[in-house]
Structure 1
Amino acid sequence: MRGVRVITRDSRDLLGEGPLWSMRENAVFWVDILGRRINRLSLADDNVTSFEQPDHAAWIIERTAGGFVAGIGLDMVRLDLPANRRKIIGQVDRGIQGNRLNDAKADAAGRIWAGTMPITCDRPTGAFHRLDPDGGITRVDGPYTIANGPAIDPDGRFLLHTDTALATIFRFDIREDGSLGARQPYIRFEPAWGNPDGMTFDAEGGLWVACWGAGCVTRFTPDGRRDRSIDLPASQITSCTFAGPDLDRMFVTSAAVDVDEPAGGALFEVDPGCRGRPTLMYRG
């Protein structure tokens, strides 16, 4: 497709997710949840390296103190790369068999908001959690069947979160103490749009949403109106992030699980025609 670059590498992701732009490393990181690995693309030379994990690798976020924090299985861990050393901060959904972490974002206060879901994607046993800089973990909402795509207002006023199984993006006000206001429907997806997955804001306040099943990323205006889409040569599009020194490059993840597509599970680069916002980090 015109304007779409497939990142060259030796493998595809079963379930690519959670792309993260790191300015200090000049690299894009992302996970293969089912492949249990974290990937790194160097923007200096397009070299891709991977780091195997002991359980489902749900997300990776930078720490202001250096290194990363990651969601591995149901554990939130401090992660050093390239040494690939992990130290557990805490665990979510204790006692719930068959759940795993799925998708997370940091906010301007240095907290992390992360969802959980059943590995089987078929029952509402998941929840939404907040990891504070002091390491405390609080369940803030639930239940969810496929918790997905946090997008955080950089000013810390509100966040967006979705249950992909409900084809709805929800909006929550963030109170000063870190608690959330009532869950309010924000965008309800029509069947032709696919289902909402990972999300990110651009510098103009537009919301870019990866559309699972529809083979595209779609931009919505701040008032929730569908603005434009970029088509991709894979149906299961999972998430997107702005990258590069000028935040004018967009990288998009996808999944190969349960489909027979040449580009399924690829990492794509597209020209979004706009700029993104700086990456937010965990302060713990």
Structure 2
Amino acid sequence: MVSGGVRSILGEGPLWSAPDNAVFWVDILGKRLNRLSLEDDTVAGWDMPEAIGWVIERERGGLIAGFASGFAELDLDPLAIRPIVDPEIGVVENRMNDAKADCFGRIWAGTMPFSCSGETGAFYRLDPDRSCTRVDAPYTIPNGPAIAPDGATMFHTDTALRTIFRIAIRDDGGLGARTPHIVFEAGWGSPDGMTLDANGHLWVAHWGAGRVSRFDPAGSLERSIALPASQITSMTFAGPDLDRMFVTSAADGVDEQHGGALFEVDPGCRGLPTHKFGG
């Protein structure tokens, strides 16, 4: 099923908002934020002044967004953007790419080069007090992360390496070593966005292979769901019971009927609640 009728150049960052009963997603290169209402299937959209990688809800209301110029508060009605911090001042060749909030109200976000080549990207943690810490580098195309409910473990990838890593999160917010968890086989494309379901299985978007897959806790492929677009970028569980899955895709560089669409698939399981930024 294709939802919303919107086509993105580079759809990414799907986010389930329970308060809005809606799914947000971004078009990074199209510089646009979209919102699909699950009440009536209507789509609203907002043009942004620069590339936008993701949005995350904020505990006190509104959104936090990852722009090419860094972290910012984002209000939609009326539209207002208030910068928080640029972790890479002067690095104009980079942009934000993917992020998640954890159970402690922290945001984990990666940066990458617009060109998708060269290890100029890094991984950052934005704490509720708005301090920003560089926690890992280098990266070419950081994607994920998927963070365990207790906030002690994350799964993260550098898409360019075709490997998903398991990383321990220390009590002080620092990270342990990247430990290879899943190495993509030939024909699988490259790992992109990820999320965990309520059973502890990892869902992964296959960029270049037209599907999403579910991996068991040991990292073995459990099943895949094919989609009518090749460049699949990320997914989120949605709905009051968290039993619906919405999947983003990209049209950049391909000529496909459904490239860049937002899809809905039946995951056959439930997801985890969406965490918010605590600051």
1:1-284 aligned within 5 A: 5-9=1-5, 11-284=6-279
1:141 alignment partner AA: D
Q: Is the 8 A contact 2:17 2:23 kept in 1?
A: yes
Tell me the matched-pair count. Answer: 279
Deviates more, 1:176-185 or 1:264-273: 176-185
**Backbone CA RMSD of aligned residues:** 0.8
Q: Is the 8 A contact 1:59 1:71 kept in 2?
A: yes
Q: Is the 8 A contact 1:215 1:237 kept in 2?
A: yes
Q: Is the 8 A contact 2:10 2:29 kept in 1?
A: yes
Runs of at least 4 residues off by over 4 Å: none
Distance 1:248 1:140 in 2: 33
Distance 1:93 1:187 in 2: 30
Query: Structure 1: which 5+ residue stretches go unaligned?
Result: none
CA positional deviation for 1:175: 0.7
How high is the TM-score relative to the length of structure 2? 0.99
1:43 alignment partner AA: L
- Listed one character per residue, the Cα deviations across residues 120-177 of structure 1 (whole Å, up to 9, x for unaligned) are 0011000000000000000000101111111111111111111000001111111111
CA positional deviation for 1:8: 3.5
- Secondary structure of the corresponding residue to residue 251 of structure 2: coil
1:255 alignment partner AA: A
Q: Is the 8 A contact 2:191 2:207 kept in 1?
A: yes
Distance 1:139 1:183 in 2: 15
Query: Structure 2: which 5+ residue stretches go unaligned?
Result: none
Q: Is the 8 A contact 1:53 1:72 kept in 2?
A: no
- Listed one character per residue, the Cα deviations across residues 233-253 of structure 1 (whole Å, up to 9, x for unaligned) are 000000000000000000000
Distance 2:178 2:39 in 1: 42
